[in-house]
Amino acid sequence: MITLETIKKAQKTLENVTYKTPLTKAPILSQKYDCDIYLKKENLQLTGSFKLRGAFNKIANISEDKKALGVVAASAGNHAQGVAFSASHFGIDATIFMPEATPLTKVTGVKHYGANVVLKGANYDEAYKAAKEYALEHNKTFVHPFADDEVISGQGTIALEVLEEFKNIGQPDIFIVPIGGGGLISGIATALKELSPSTKIIGVVSSGANAMKESFKAKTPIDSISVKTIADGIAVRDITPKMLDLLLDLVDDIIEVNDTEIASAILFLLERHKLVVEGAGAVGIAAIMHDKIDIKNKTVVLPISGGNIDVTMLSLIIEKGLVKSNRKMNMKVILIDKPGSLMRFTEILNSCSANIVQIDYDRNSVKLEFGEANVTVALETKGKEHQELIRETLNANGYRLTEF
């Protein structure tokens, strides 16, 4: 059973192990949305995620005999690193099952702490099944990423740290928490219901992994057929009845955000708040930025749950974000394939003060007429008006462009 006392006990267990991560006001967001928004930066935690709290608390409470046999876990990445770190701390063996598509940065992070990694399955739930079978076969302790009282109690220590910092501020009005399996929000909500009962607790899921939201609304477990989201840390397909019961008892509402909204939040946090945040850690900000929650004149807390984002995904988000915000323009035009044509085209772009960052010249495509060439170009631009100037100038000079 998870109680305030088990969470306080976990806090003592975690002393001198985990970081007491910063809780800081987000001035840009607060001003923009006319409220007070505070970010609990678990992306700065050891292993880059809050998951260390629950994993360490669980392993610390395993008997010495069971520790000697080793532990097993299944994870999309952050829980895996938490278990690997904790196992290394206690000098025990750890085997981690991870989905085959897990970002390299998370796989590397797990191996860094000395754990054995097994890539298995298309998603967390398939990796979980394989891990459970392996643990049973080898008589090892399975460390569940969320449906475990000691794990949940460890995650709940975040709320204790937040409320300690709020002593001179008052109680938060709203706590917005990412939801995958439900362990983080269950631990936080358990502490808040005892110590700050007026605080509204809102969970956020990705629309590509929204089984918990659908189950919460229906008040019965409804598994997803599949999951697909850039928020891999909360990409849970199947609902654990125990976790749904906890959320129905503790949580006020669950909303969802899509991948485009999550990506915009990641880019915003990177650019404006200088924070590297993974998809799961950005869903609360995405909910705020896209008006999913009424927060005007409220005091709001969001745990930035993790920062272990794959650099390839981050690069893709940045590129798409630049196009969406009119700071980058990708186009294709057809030129006459003769000397001077490309120079004339680039001179026109230069006259518009458009900076060419990439250009490709193709005269061999079978879709072209003889004597034609495709030119694909990427431009740095200065906003919507600048892009409109470029379009008008090219059209006035006889060019017909296709944007993508």
Same domain, 179 and 294: yes
Q: How far is CA 288 from the centre of its chain?
A: 15
pLDDT, averaged per 10 consecutive residues of the chain (404 residues), comes to 97 97 96 96 96 98 96 92 97 95 84 94 88 96 97 98 92 97 97 97 97 98 93 92 98 97 96 95 98 96 95 92 93 93 95 96 88 94 96 94 90
Residue 109 CB neighbour total at 10 angstroms: 21
Nearest to 28 by CA among 323, 273, 201: 273
* CB within 8 Å of 339: residues ≥ 6 apart: none
Quick one: 241 and 386 in the same domain? no
What local confidence, expressed as pLDDT, does residue 88 receive?
A: 97
Q: Is 51 a catalytic residue?
A: yes
Last residue of a domain, which of 320, 355, 378? 320
Phi, psi at 16, each rounded to 5° = 65, 10
Residues 184 and 104 in one domain: no
Q: Say which residue the tokens 């890539």 belong to.
A: 119
Report the CATH number at residue 58: 3.40.50.1100
- Which one of 290, 320, 350 terminates a domain? 320
Q: Which of 75, 215, 305, 328 is catalytic?
A: 305
Residue 69 confidence (pLDDT): 96
In angstroms, the CA 313 to CA 330 distance is: 19
Supply the pLDDT for residue 170: 87
pLDDT tens profile 133-146: 999 999 999 999 99
Q: Is the same domain home to 190 and 111?
A: no
What would the pLDDT profile of 57-88 be if each residue is shown by its tens digit?
999 999 999 999 999 999 978 999 999 999 99
* 350 and 384 together in one domain: yes
Write the DSSP string, 91-145.
T--EEEEE-TT--HHHHHHHHHTT-EEEE-SSSHHHHHHHHHHHHHHTT-EE--S
Are 56 and 66 part of one and the same domain?
A: yes
Same domain for 126 and 203, yes or no, is no
Show which of 115, 142, 169 is a domain's final residue: 142
Same domain, 44 and 55: no
**Beta 141-142 vs 299-304: how paired, if at all?**
unpaired
SS (H, E, C) 275-297: CCCCHHHHHHHHHHHCCCCCCCC
Rounded Cα distance between 284 and 342, Å, is 47
**CA–CA distance, 323 with 308 (Å, rounded to integer):** 24
The one catalytic residue among 51, 106, 140, 213: 51
Domain containing residue 297: 4-50+149-320
pLDDT at 102: 83
> Would you call 213 a catalytic residue per the annotation?
no
- Count of beta carbons in the 10 Å neighbourhood of residue 93: 16
- Asked if residue 166 and residue 229 are part of one domain, the reply reads yes
Same domain, 42 and 168: yes
Domain count, the chain: 3
